[in-house]
Amino acid sequence: MISTSKRLLVAVLAVVLTLSVATLGITAFAVTTTDTIEYPFAKGDNAFKYAPTWKGQSAKTETASYQFFQPKFAVTDLTKATYLAVQLKVVKGNFGFTFGTESSTGGRYGTYVDKTAGAKFVTNDGKSTDLEIKFSSITLTQGTEGMLLVPMANLSWVSWAKEETKTLDKMASIFFETNAQYNFGFEMTVGDVGYYVGEPGQNGSIYTSLMDLSAGEKKDSYYVAASTIEFPSEVKDVNAVPETVEYPFAKGNKAFDNAVVWAGTASGDSADNWQTLKVNFDKEADLSNATWLAVQYSAKTGAPGITYAVQNKDARYSIAGHDRTKSYMVAEDGAVSVASQYQYDASAVSGTGALLINFNEMGWQFGSDANKSLTAVKQFILTTNSKYNWNFEIVIGEIGYYTGTLGEDAVYHKLLDTSAGNKLAQITATSDLEANRCTVRANKVDRTQYGAVTLNWLATGKTASSFAVWDGGSYGKAEMVTDSYGDDAVRLTSTGANPTGDQYTATTIADGVKWTLTNAKGITFWARNDSDIEVSFNLEIDICNNNYTNNGKGHNARFNIKQGNRFVLYDVKTGKQTIYMTRPCATLPVGFEGWVFVPFTAFNQAEWSVSQQGAMARNLFVDDNNVFNAESWVSYIAITVHAPTYQGKAFSLNKFGSYTTTPSFVSGVIAETETAKSVPTLMDLPSIKED
């Protein structure tokens, strides 16, 4: 083909191409990005569709063992050729090789003389980088993909070639050769082969194909010695993901008991601020044959864009540069779904399960050549930029990897085992800017089912600012404390009258929620009287039903506790269960600490709600058996306290939910039965945390 592309002048940039093999004593050297060259080979999914992969010996040999790979083509006159061009991709390893072309009579014409300039590597966007020939070798690093361009002027006849074989007009193959004493464990895919007449990238240059694989594999066109080749048709698709995969991690309510929570910054940054979570494995691992990473993962809050990587000292092997690659999530039942598709070098994942990260679609992001080895990997790395991602919580549990093909011969291997306890000591969170940084903490798994009680709201992770005090009422404050079980709770205190407000301190517990309270008979919550007198407060809840409209403004009506209804108190420290009467509020005796059960029979629509919002039919709240309406929901819950009576008198709350079985009074005289059970029996309560 005649190149019609104009010569594009680009800036000359000094970069460093890490082309070294320590065992050969080759060190990194400076290279230069030069003019753009029109790329003659296929790109994208078809780039190496039918190309074989040359695989070196798996281990170093004690004596010389020359690994040889020879793609063959029809006898061609290369006397006018200026460059040999080969499409290739280094799949695994960093290695050096002698390269050249061979005549039909066996004369090798290769890189036997060191050269500091001339050879180039061209990526598929046409950008080229200069290469050196050193120790008769060209050295390439893992992840290199594009076109190798070697000037014919940089080649010479091998010393043992006979004169009658030195026939440039009768060349029949190219070759790659390397010694297993120094280069082993490598894999390189070799595609189309051709040559140029003229200078590539300049007008008038002509590219001619010598081996075209666009129509299919050419298994009879290769010779290999002391090494192997593998064709695409012989390779299992290790990237294939079946519809189901056996779940590799713990399941159920306690699955994430020993996990950690990576919490993002509370606010975003105006400039780049990289947040990093570093997870040290239980021991260093050889990931040379890994096909997938598996991470026990749960997006608790938000779905930030995260770059995944593994690291060996200063060398990082990551998903950067692999946009459009998909990650997958395996549910506990084994069902597999797409979790994300990488964009801007990051993966944004929501949901919970086993996150599968394609290890074949990762590459070296940075680091020294000496450490660019997957044989001694020590860390899993997660990074995100708080300029774009903040206020998230990601739960990370066990980490492992697969070898083999999922759904066929895959084997799972553990890297971080959390079965015996959390590994917080092996995990650190860092930030570029200390003023705004991420954190990591042990995961607290909140129990939401206590026998017949289902919890809808917990104070876990809340702060004092999470609780708004109504500015139309009296003053109050919220403080974070712990409850009987060591969990976060909120302490409320009325602090005085508001000259412009009413006499009640009203504090919002939850707003904008949708609790359906299936088959519920009442509201339950944990409470503690932190003052020296008996304290009372009311429970304000908004009941919603689409068959009710509050003067055209919504579907919610306000209900609260009314005078003269029975409710149950259970003190977790004394084990005493008591029946109290509302007056009209719920009351906590001095020293009480435990659970409160308020039946729906104790709630009526607030008088102001009836007059301002319109009366809600009782059956839209509860049915004839006082069971919560199946089509209704709770959208708001708040606590009101009469400030003049209870100023400075604190009480604490947590764990709001509902119950489906009403506790019965049980004593030494009245025994439990199948239909009459006490609070601790109904709730299967855990042990309390002693002071």
Rounded CA-CA distance 554/542 in Å is 11
Cβ atoms of residues 379 and 423 within 8 Å: no
- Say if 379 falls within a structural domain: yes
- Do 457 and 591 fall within a single domain? yes
- Do 531 and 652 fall within a single domain? yes
Residues facing 37 on adjacent strands: none
State yes or no: pLDDT of 373 exceeds 70.
yes
- Say if 251 falls within a structural domain: no
- Do 271 and 192 fall within a single domain? no
Task: Look at the alpha carbons of 595, 600, 601, 607 in this order and tell me if their dihedral is positive or negative.
Answer: positive
- Provide mean pLDDT across the span 231-245: 85
- Say if 241 falls within a structural domain: no
CATH of the domain at 584: 2.60.120.430
State yes or no: pLDDT of 290 exceeds 70.
yes
Give the pairing of strands 156-157 and 108-110: antiparallel
* Domain ranges, residue 522: 450-683
- Do 586 and 541 fall within a single domain? yes
- Do 436 and 498 fall within a single domain? no
Question: What residues contact 653, with CB distance under 8 A and at least 6 apart?
Answer: 459, 489, 490, 492, 509, 525, 526, 527, 639
Q: Residue 619 CB: number of other CB atoms within 10 A?
A: 12
> Among residues 674, 677, 653, which one has the least CA distance to residue 663?
677
- DSSP, collapsed to helix, strand or coil, labels residue 337 as strand
Rounded CA-CA distance 2/211 in Å is 18
- Do 458 and 430 fall within a single domain? no
- Say if 690 falls within a structural domain: no
Residues facing 328 on adjacent strands: 338, 356
- Do 225 and 276 fall within a single domain? no
Rounded CA-CA distance 219/602 in Å is 83
State yes or no: pLDDT of 27 exceeds 60.
no
- Do 655 and 608 fall within a single domain? yes
- The residue from 381, 412, 442 where one domain ends is 442
State yes or no: pLDDT of 357 exceeds 80.
yes
Please tell me the predicted confidence (pLDDT) of residue 257.
85
- Say if 242 falls within a structural domain: no
Cβ atoms of residues 298 and 256 within 8 Å: yes
- Say if 666 falls within a structural domain: yes
Rounded CA-CA distance 323/358 in Å is 12
- Do 527 and 628 fall within a single domain? yes
- The residue from 420, 442, 464 where one domain ends is 442
- The residue from 442, 477, 494 where one domain ends is 442
- Say if 688 falls within a structural domain: no
Number of domains in the chain: 3
- Do 214 and 274 fall within a single domain? no
- DSSP, collapsed to helix, strand or coil, labels residue 319 as coil
Give the pLDDT confidence of 77-118 residue by residue, as tens digits.
999 999 999 999 999 999 999 999 999 999 999 999 999 999
CATH of the domain at 180: 2.60.120.260
Rounded CA-CA distance 356/664 in Å is 49
Cβ atoms of residues 200 and 151 within 8 Å: no
- Do 163 and 264 fall within a single domain? no
Question: What residues contact 186, with CB distance under 8 A and at least 6 apart?
Answer: 55, 56, 90, 92, 93, 94, 95, 178
Give the pLDDT confidence of 411-450 residue by residue, as tens digits.
999 999 999 888 999 999 999 999 899 999 888 777 888 9
Give the pairing of strands 352-358 and 305-312: unpaired
Question: What residues contact 254, with CB distance under 8 A and at least 6 apart?
Answer: 445
Please tell me the predicted confidence (pLDDT) of residue 252.
86
- Do 552 and 671 fall within a single domain? yes
Residues facing 677 on adjacent strands: none
Residues present in the chain in total: 691
- Say if 9 falls within a structural domain: no
Task: Look at the alpha carbons of 363, 367, 372, 377 in this order and tell me if their dihedral is positive or negative.
Answer: negative
What's the pLDDT band for 7 if we cut at 50, 70, 90? very low
